[in-house]
Amino acid sequence: MKSSQFKIRARQAVGDADLRSKIKKATGISLLKREQVVSEIADWEDLRRRAHELRKETVDNIDSYLRRFIESARRNNAIVHEADDHKTANKIIYDIIRRVSAHTVVKSKSMITEELHLNTMLEENGIRVIETDLGEYIVQLAGETPSHITAPALHKSKEDIARLFHEKLNIPYSDDPVKLTAVARERLRDEFLKARVGITGVNFATADTGTLTIVENEANARLCTTLPEVHIAIMSIEKIIPSFDDLPLFLKLLPRSASGQRMTSYVTCINGPRSYHNPDGPRQLHIVILDGGRKQLAKHPAWKEALYCIRCGACMNICPIYQSVGGHAYGSVYPGPIGSVITPTLFNMKDAQDLPFASSLCGACTDICPVKIDLHHHLLFERREIVNRGYKSSVEKIGMVLWRWIMLSPGRLEFAGRVGWFFRKLLGKNMPAPGWTPHRQFPRIPLRSFRSIMRSDKKHGK
Amino acid sequence: MENKLLYRFQSRIQESGGWCEISASGDGISDILNSKYMFEKEKIVISGRVAKELQLSGLPGMCIDEVKPNNRRALLSEAKLGVTFCDGLIAETGTVVLINHPSEPRELSLLPEYHVVIAKQTQLYESLDKCFTKIKQLYPAGSIPSITLVSGPSRTSDIEKTLVIGVHGPVEFGVIIIGSR
């Protein structure tokens, strides 16, 4: 799947009424629940500002915080690996698994492993990967990718899932979410008890104490970090926050923004593998830290803000474009407004050149972001960059030059208005405007222009 | 002040699908457990801290300290109810703070079908920052064990945003606070 096919996939999604209604329903419920728990916090704006400052502080000094985090984590007896790129990270992870001769790994939800295409790589090398988050389990059974960063199976109805479970797991058809969940619990519990390696992502890594914090509701991350002998935690460099003392602030913002909960059912703060201080848990804790172009991005005066993201998904839920096309259309691991900011700047601007245009620039994403990323302005600035790099077609360029030329003179604007009016009159409803008129009617152009009404009003002294 | 915190904690826990009862003394706890759960003694496993730190003995069930570490996982994956102590209660979010402890392994609050926490009213904090500040004072830097925050039963909304209780962790979560309203 590629971001370069955004337009094609978006058109398909918009035409799929069933998909649209599923997405609208799911995002609507999330927004409503969020509103309830955010409105009870009087100083929400203040918290957002503080969080923004802390994210800025970390990203501006990412090298020094990274050093500090690694030192603290090593003091906690964790084995820390640094990977400059995706390939290196995958190799490190594969080697750890091979060294303990494991053939199966249990895995909890993690966007960074999606970015690494870790499952594909491990499976190509003969290692069975079991996704244990219910949504991820569904998506994995279907052979798909997540369509939302916190609700991976958001694009599926319960009937879709019932059919999937019936076919893949050989169980009687049932579309009762309670029954479907019970099936997943039973199937996966055995895997947890047997697995020797657990893989998780990380939500926050605190530089002063080396603590890894994982936020979840199902307890699958708890199982992944408690039962197996080896825990591999994978994170990108920007997961770091300065101090353990900052954790309560982010734990106030993230669950409320992501799932409309005051706190998720479980938050696990890991301070190292089994040791004198830590009587249970895995014997080995590996932390794999991926750069993947982020250190470079952190130096950009504006786009570094993309690294402030704490992956709550609220900007997706509120975005009118996301609500219409869903996550898969973006063709990126990270969909929605933040995905449209990250994908071109972190991965490939040429491939993802359509994404910054997938926005009405309404600013709802910026307003809802718990760390105050100026999302819609970044989208606008990325558009300029895409034009400056010459990715736009010459037809569009000529069009824009012409537009500018017309808009700079009142006389030319009036003349252009008359030309438009003439063609509308001539062609009626068949006025062609590609990309628009196949789906909507061309608006009626009034008989008299605004300017001519103004002129005659003046003449009659109104 | 403490009463207000207690009341808020109780309603937060209930809102997230758990239950919370207040017991005037330690004596009432057996009764609460017996009225809710009718499992055989072998199916109930109790943290060693409950006896040590709450001076509570005679609860129905077996103490984890009496089980060899190598046998614990097998026992707990068959157990119905795990009973633990805790290291703090957060009123703002209805959260229980569990710090890793030799007599209170993480599996005890994770593998059994039901999880009940016994706590003292004096362990109530208004917010998470206050509790974390306290934890940092208790443990020297670099020696804080792992911490688990529990705010309700295991849950998911991954299928059409329908809330389902009990995915991979305990299907029921309850808190008994020794204190008075």
| Domain identity same for A29 and A57 | no
User: Could you state, in order of their start, the residue ranges of all structural domains in chain B?
Assistant: 2-178
Span A315-340, pLDDT tens digits = 999 999 999 999 999 999 999 999 99
Which of A229, A261, A296 lies at the terminal end of a domain, its last residue? A296
Contacts of A72 in chain B (CB under 8 A): 142
Contacts of A265 in chain B (CB under 8 A): 16, 150-155, 169
Contacts of B150 in chain A (CB under 8 A): 265-266
Measure the CA angle with vertex B131, ends B126 and B137; round to 5°: 145
Q: Is residue A322 part of a domain?
A: yes
What pLDDT score does A124 carry? 97
pLDDT > 90: what percent of chain B?
Answer: 85
How many other C-beta atoms are found inside a 10 Å radius of the C-beta of residue A218? Answer: 30
What pLDDT score does B2 carry? 63
Contact B169 A266 (CB under 8 A): yes
Span B106-125, pLDDT tens digits = 999 999 999 999 999 999 99
| Domain identity same for A319 and A206 | no
User: How many structural domains are present in chain A?
Assistant: 3
| Domain identity same for A31 and A91 | no
What pLDDT score does A138 carry? 97
In angstroms, what is the C-alpha Rg of chain B? 16
| Domain identity same for A29 and A160 | no
* B111, B77 contact by CB (below 8 A): yes
pLDDT interval class at B140 (50, 70, 90): confident
Span B23-65, pLDDT tens digits = 999 889 999 999 999 999 999 999 999 989 988 888 889 999 9
Looking at residues A158-167, what average pLDDT do you find? 96
Span A254-298, pLDDT tens digits = 999 999 999 999 999 999 999 877 788 999 999 999 999 999 999
Which of A296, A322, A340 lies at the terminal end of a domain, its last residue? A296
Q: Is residue A308 part of a domain?
A: no
Asked if pLDDT for residue B1 goes beyond 60, the answer is no
Span A5-46, pLDDT tens digits = 999 999 999 889 999 999 999 999 999 999 999 999 999 999
Q: Is residue A57 part of a domain?
A: yes
Query: What dotted CATH number matches B2-178?
Result: 3.40.50.10420
Q: Tell me the CATH number at A243.
A: 3.40.50.10420
Looking at residues B162-168, what average pLDDT do you find? 95
Q: What is the DSSP letter of A283?
A: S
Contact A263 B168 (CB under 8 A): no
Looking at residues A452-459, what average pLDDT do you find? 83
pLDDT > 70: what percent of chain A?
Answer: 99
What pLDDT score does A295 carry? 97
Contacts of B128 in chain A (CB under 8 A): 247-248, 251-252
Q: Which of B157, B163, B171 has the highest number of chain A CBs within 10 A, making it the mutation to test binding with A?
A: B157
- List phi, psi (to 5°) of A383: -60, -45
Is the CB of A25 inside 8 Å of chain B's CB atoms? Answer: yes
Contacts of B161 in chain A (CB under 8 A): 25-26, 29-30, 151
**ipTM of this complex prediction, to 2 decimal places:** 0.97
Name the residue in chain A with its Cα closest to that of B171.
Answer: A218
- Looking only at the bridges linking them, the beta strands covering B19-23 and B172-178 are parallel
| Domain identity same for A88 and A228 | yes
| Domain identity same for A17 and A71 | no
Is the CB of B67 inside 8 Å of chain A's CB atoms? Answer: no
Span A37-55, pLDDT tens digits = 999 999 999 999 999 999 9
CA–CA separation, A6 and B50 (whole Å): 58
| Domain identity same for A211 and A351 | no
Q: Facing residues of A445 across strands? A: none
Asked if pLDDT for residue A198 goes beyond 60, the answer is yes
| Domain identity same for A179 and A287 | yes
Asked if pLDDT for residue A432 goes beyond 60, the answer is yes
CA–CA separation, B78 and B15 (whole Å): 29
Is the CB of B66 inside 8 Å of chain A's CB atoms? Answer: no
Among B106, B128, B161, the residue with its CB nearest the CB of A280 is B106
Q: How crowded is the C-beta side of B22, counted as CA atoms within 13 Å?
A: 15
Higher pLDDT, A360 or A451: A360
How many other C-beta atoms are found inside a 10 Å radius of the C-beta of residue B60? Answer: 18
Contact B106 A220 (CB under 8 A): no
CA–CA separation, B25 and B21 (whole Å): 12
| Domain identity same for A15 and A146 | no
Higher pLDDT, A63 or A439: A63
Q: Domain of A16?
A: 1-40+313-392
Q: Is residue A301 part of a domain?
A: no
Contact A151 B142 (CB under 8 A): no
**Distance of residue B168 Cα from the nearest chain A Cα, in angstroms:** 5
| Domain identity same for A253 and A168 | yes
